[in-house]
Amino acid sequence: MAEHAAYFRPPGLDGIEALHARFVEHRYRPHSHPTWTVAVVERGAARFTVDERAERADRGELFVLEPEAVHTGMAAVPEGWQYKVLYVDPELLPAWGESDAAGPRAARWTVFRDRALRDALLRAHGALAQGPTGLAVDEALLAAVAGLRPHLLPGPAEPRRGRPEHAAVRRAAAHLREHWAEPVRLAELSTVAGLSRFELVRRFRGQMGLTPHAFQTNLRIERARALLAAGEPPAAVAAGCGFADQPHLTRVFRQAVGITPGRYARATSFKTAGRPGAILPPWPSPTSTPRSPSSSATISRSGSD
């Protein structure tokens, strides 16, 4: 069965992006986003790790990932999974609510069911796919974000993995953020951190959820996204973001974002990869029986209030 992915970056709605995809063989590398990741599984099932915790989302279920949460993603059943994802800038929540308080940074749970929120998200995705942007899209997105708010906790997220932060790791991460596009050797990073190479990699992964190399790659991908969205050609982005060449950028970018840099650059709310509406092909008959959707009550599968 062919895989398909369409990306939407609606003009005039900074801080909102969306992905509509069907994957079977595709596997996301460990990565993170600076945004909230809010997904609806429409068909099949996906399994993934979030900060080294195993999760699974089946048909009709939603999952929410906090900003900067390190996660993977792959099929949980032979037919793969079809889903729609909304990426929301965390600053939009207090801005849209016209609140001076800091926006939420923690989720109450990861995988759950909420029929009202699911339907609101699907309406928002439908509006994005049909475009162009206007009041219909704005109101649909506002309703979806409003439905998301009860599933979020006020204040900052708690430290992940339950381990205290290490000053040496902070120094190493700061060095990588400063030199994100440059070749950085482990010996150099070890000197900055004041740890042996073995200890640095162990502590860095324990605190950040990624090895130093994966962390730097994540930084490069996020910068590449910004440049592509601004209209820079993929070849120039590859050269400017520390990738060996354009094929290297394409391979790494797709492993984290789900589509190629070229398709990401062309994404709009009403035309994606030259296909109006970005309609997915028909889904085959499933080989597994997903759980039936619940009522409008919210059921947590990964935590509690």
pLDDT averaged over the chain? Answer: 85
For the chain, the three-class secondary structure string (H helix, E strand, C coil) is CCCEEEEECCCCCCCEEEEEEEECCCCEEEECCCCEEEEEEEEEEEEEEECCEEEEEECCCEEEECCCCCEEEEECCCCCEEEEEEEECCCHHHHHCCCCCCCCCEECCCEEECHHHHHHHHHHHHHHHHCCCCHHHHHHHHHHHHHHHHHEECCCCCCHHHCCCCHHHHHHHHHHHHCCCCCCCHHHHHHHHCCCHHHHHHHHHHHHCCCHHHHHHHHHHHHHHHHHHCCCCHHHHHHHCCCCCHHHHHHHHHHHHCCCHHHHHHCCCCCECCEHHHCCCCCCCCCCCCCCCCCCCCEECCCCC
> What average pLDDT does this structure show over 209-215?
95
What is the reported pTM?
0.83
For residue 294, pLDDT over 50 is answered with no
pLDDT grade, residue 250 (50/70/90)? very high
pLDDT for 144: 95
For residue 265, pLDDT over 60 is answered with yes
The full set of domains in the chain, from first to last, is 4-158+269-296 (2.60.120.10), 163-265 (1.10.10.60)
For residue 303, pLDDT over 60 is answered with no
Q: What is the share, in percent, of the chain residues with pLDDT greater than 90?
A: 69
pLDDT grade, residue 286 (50/70/90)? very low
* pLDDT single digits (tens) 38-82: 999 999 999 999 988 999 999 999 999 999 999 999 999 999 999
